[in-house]
Amino acid sequence: MGLGYGMGVPLKDMAKHMQLAHQGVFNINYRLPIKNYPQFVVGIETGIGTYAHKTINQTFQFTDGTTTNTDVRYSSNIGFVNLVARYDIPVKGAVVPYLHLIGGYDELYTDVYVEDPADPMGCKPLENENAFNDHTFTWGYGAGVQIKLKESKRKSCGATYKLDLAATNVYGGDLEYLNVKHLTAHNHSDPQSPDTKPFVSKFINVNSQAIHEHQLAEIHESRFRMLQIRIGLVIQFGKKE
């Protein structure tokens, strides 16, 4: 089993609208009991982390020309779970390179929190907390290396500690996510980009009780593409190698 840190680097169109993802990663692997071929390993890995956390002071302009000012907090997270097939290249020594394939599921989730404005005569949000998420199935390939750090002296049921370094090209389907890389304030008069959709929240006018919407962010759609870089510690239990 292993525990480590993962950094997701958005690629292609995703790189225009998404920042680096920082994740905690946990995995469990099982070496297949194939006689004379102990290089084949299968396992499962999961991770969760964040790729944005921002607070922006926004001024919302209404159709009658009045304005309300408040803070909007954005918290964007990513989670995944993968099945893994690994082949350890048979070499002697403390350093073992490997190749691997993955297949799994990724989800992007953004929570947007609108503070109540300090404006008793203006507008306030009907719901302070707004959420947006989407998901896709993913697959990928990569390579890595495990470096033996310490080995138990026990010949059976001992533990071997290894440093694990890996990089994986991850591909997926189309999914939608909020643009948190270039957040800006929006007014009703702002033109909408043709390749985006507005993410809005409902507000109520304290005086007239009229309900209207204000844009908080832009929704982008693109094909999931990411380079996953991982560093971690692996503990291998079993007979001494």
Name the fold adopted by 2-238: Porin (2.40.160)
- Report the C-alpha dihedral over residues 81, 87, 88, 89, rounded to 10 degrees: -140
Domain range annotation of the chain:
2-238
What does pLDDT average to over the chain?
85
Assess whether pLDDT exceeds 70 at residue 241: no
Within 10 angstroms of residue 102's Cβ, the number of other Cβ atoms is: 22
pLDDT digits (tens, 9 = 90+) for 111-162: 888 887 766 666 777 777 788 899 999 999 999 999 999 877 666 667 888 9
Assess whether pLDDT exceeds 70 at residue 216: yes
How many residues are given for the chain?
241
Whole-prediction pTM value?
0.81
Question: In sequence order, which residues have a C-beta less than 8 Å from that of residue 202 and are 6 or more positions away?
Answer: 125, 126, 127, 211, 212, 213
pLDDT, position 35: 83
pLDDT, position 180: 75
Average pLDDT over residues 180-187: 62
pLDDT, position 191: 47
